[in-house]
Amino acid sequence: MSVSYRQPGVVLTDRRFTVPLDHADPTGETIELYAREAVASDKADQDLPWLVYLQGGPGFGANRFIGRPAWLGRALKEYRVLLLDQRGTGASTPANRQTLPLRGGPAEQADYLTHFRADAIVRDCEAIRPQVTGGAPWTVLGQSFGGFCTVAYLSLAPEGLSAALITGGLPSLDAHADDVYRAAYPRIERKVVAHYARYPQDVERARRIADHLLTHDVVLPNGYRLTVEAFQSLGIMLGGSEGSHRLHFLLEDAFVRTPNGHELSDAFQEQAQGLLSFAANPLYALIHEVIYGQDARPTAWSAERVRAEFPRFDAAKALAGDEPLLFTGESIHPWMFDCDPALRPLRETADLLAARTDWTPLYDPARLAVNEVPAAAAVYHDDMYVDTAHALTTARAIRGLRTWVTDEFEHDGVRAGGPRVLDRLLALARDEA
């Protein structure tokens, strides 16, 4: 039974759907999807077109908005919005260290998780669309990984779409994970250099913390083992509009003087564990690299292997000389499954996923080349998470796709830019700009 309730300026309705785990076996096992419908209070009784929002990730539930912030306010001017918790996330049937053992051992868990990529998410959308819209096509707004899903939607079921809007999420159609990370590490380094140019005092602060971690065994209050590599991974913050500033504030009061000398402060440790833990979104760690798997080549812990090709990210070498410590970015590494108590029980499962050689294509270049769905994409210049060159190559491969390339925003432009990003994409898709 659907339950509706109100927030300032918006009526929300909880909706739940049952879909096949494997859409190739529609009579087999099922899972549940949760979505939150949102409509402007003054339009609640109107017959409006639908917009479905696909969150970034992978492994994140849809935004839990309060009221009508960011892009949502713009969308609610003319749409009913469905905020979908993609399979395995949010209030949909969960996939984590507590629930995955219900599947069996690591091999069974890995097999189960092969059904959590973009193609399955598209099939989920198509399975629930008739129940939501009565069969009418809808507009999809895809942020980051949600944009990857949107390109898969244009490949697999364009008949379900009235328009496709993408923000920071045009994937390469054929790059292996190794290609993605070879492009990523130089981009990450540029973001770190820019951070140190903004906050030069952080050079010494980061080196001091890293040196402490190389010589001390630090376990955070939640059981997370804080290694120097884990500390470096806080650089993922640099991909967001406020990330550089937040990282600076984290570093500025890292140490406190104690009877045993200087130690990492409780305040620093509390913030660090909140930023590093995957307890709330373990799927992000488990399937992050396999979203790039499209053929018989295993991903094989790509980010970890490729990192070795960029020795400037080696903390010990940096500290042995006078080089600044380089943070890393959006990458998943096997040591995370040793450091994070939320991931430790899933290490063997992750290894099996990294070794798989039966991935199937997620995108259809031939179908994209004859695309007829109005489509627009915001490409954030030098996006830390999605390579601009890869994105623009894909943009050229999708017939009719219009791009807005901008350096006004970081990867989170659709949030940080308020209504402007969605407004611009709608204008482009409608040939109004």
Domain extents in the chain = 3-173+363-429, 177-355
Tell me what pLDDT residue 1 has: 63
Note if 411 is an active site residue.
yes
Lookup: tokens for 64: 């839990």
Q: How many CB atoms lie within 10 A of CB 67?
A: 11
User: What are the tens digits of pLDDT across the range 193-238?
Assistant: 999 999 999 999 999 999 999 999 999 999 999 999 999 999 999 9
- Give CA torsion, residues 149, 154, 157, 161, to 10 deg: 100
Note if 41 is an active site residue.
no
Contact 94, 116 (CB under 8 A): no
Residue type at position 45: D
User: SS in 3 state form for the chain?
Assistant: CCEEEEECCEEEEEEEEEEECCCCCCCCCEEEEEEEEEEEHHHCCCCCCEEEEECCCCCCCCCCCCCCCHHHHHHCCCCEEEEEECCECCCCCECCCCCHHHHCCHHHHHHHHCCCCHHHHHHHHHHHHHHHHCCCCEEEEEECHHHHHHHHHHHHCHHHEEEEEEECCCCCCCCCHHHHHHHHHHHHHHHHHHHHHHCCHHHHHHHHHHHHHHHCCEECCCCCEECHHHHHHHHHHHHCCCHHHHHHHHHHCCEEEECCEEEECHHHHHHHHHHHCCCCCHHHHHHCHHHHCCCCCCCCCHHHHHHCCCHHHCHHHHHHCCCCCCCCCCCCCCCHHHHCCCCHHHHHHHHHHHHCCCCCCCCCHHHHCCCCCCEEEEEECCCCCCCHHHHHHHHHHCCCCEEEEECCCCCCHHHHCCCHHHHHHHHHHCCCC
Cross-strand bridge partners of residue 31? 19
Contact 343, 278 (CB under 8 A): yes
Lookup: tokens for 390: 């890869």
Catalytic residue among 85, 124, 144, 277: 144
Taking the C-alpha atoms of residue 292 and residue 199, their distance in angstroms, rounded to an integer, is: 34
Taking the C-alpha atoms of residue 152 and residue 120, their distance in angstroms, rounded to an integer, is: 10
| pLDDT over 80 at 39, yes or no | yes
Lookup: tokens for 339: 């450091």
Tell me what pLDDT residue 89 has: 98
Taking the C-alpha atoms of residue 178 and residue 345, their distance in angstroms, rounded to an integer, is: 26
Cross-strand bridge partners of residue 142? 54, 166
User: What are the tens digits of pLDDT across the range 242-267?
Assistant: 999 999 999 998 999 999 999 999 99
Residue 2 confidence class, pLDDT cut points 50, 70, 90: confident
Nearest to 129 by CA among 28, 25, 49, 22: 49
Q: Which residue has tokens 């894909």?
A: 394
User: What are the tens digits of pLDDT across the range 316-341?
Assistant: 999 999 999 999 989 999 999 999 99
- Give CA torsion, residues 419, 424, 425, 430, to 10 deg: 120
| pLDDT over 80 at 286, yes or no | yes
pLDDT mean across residues, the chain: 97
Note if 265 is an active site residue.
no
CATH of domain 3-173+363-429: 3.40.50.1820
Q: What are phi and psi of 359, to 5 degrees?
A: -70, 145
CA angle 335, 389, 163 (to 5 degrees): 100
| pLDDT over 90 at 135, yes or no | yes
Taking the C-alpha atoms of residue 239 and residue 415, their distance in angstroms, rounded to an integer, is: 13
Residue 3 confidence class, pLDDT cut points 50, 70, 90: confident
Tell me what pLDDT residue 433 has: 85
Tell me what pLDDT residue 357 has: 97
- Give CA torsion, residues 375, 378, 381, 385, to 10 deg: -100
User: What are the tens digits of pLDDT across the range 288-312?
Assistant: 999 999 999 999 999 999 999 999 9
* Statement: the pTM of the whole predicted model exceeds 0.75: yes
Percent of all residues in the chain with a pLDDT value above 90, rounded to a whole number? 98
Catalytic residue among 212, 333, 390, 411: 411
Taking the C-alpha atoms of residue 152 and residue 169, their distance in angstroms, rounded to an integer, is: 11
User: What are the tens digits of pLDDT across the range 140-162?
Assistant: 999 999 999 999 999 999 999 99
User: What are the tens digits of pLDDT across the range 355-406?
Assistant: 999 999 999 999 999 999 999 999 999 999 999 999 999 999 999 999 999 9
Taking the C-alpha atoms of residue 76 and residue 38, their distance in angstroms, rounded to an integer, is: 8
Q: What is the CA radius of gyration of the chain?
A: 22
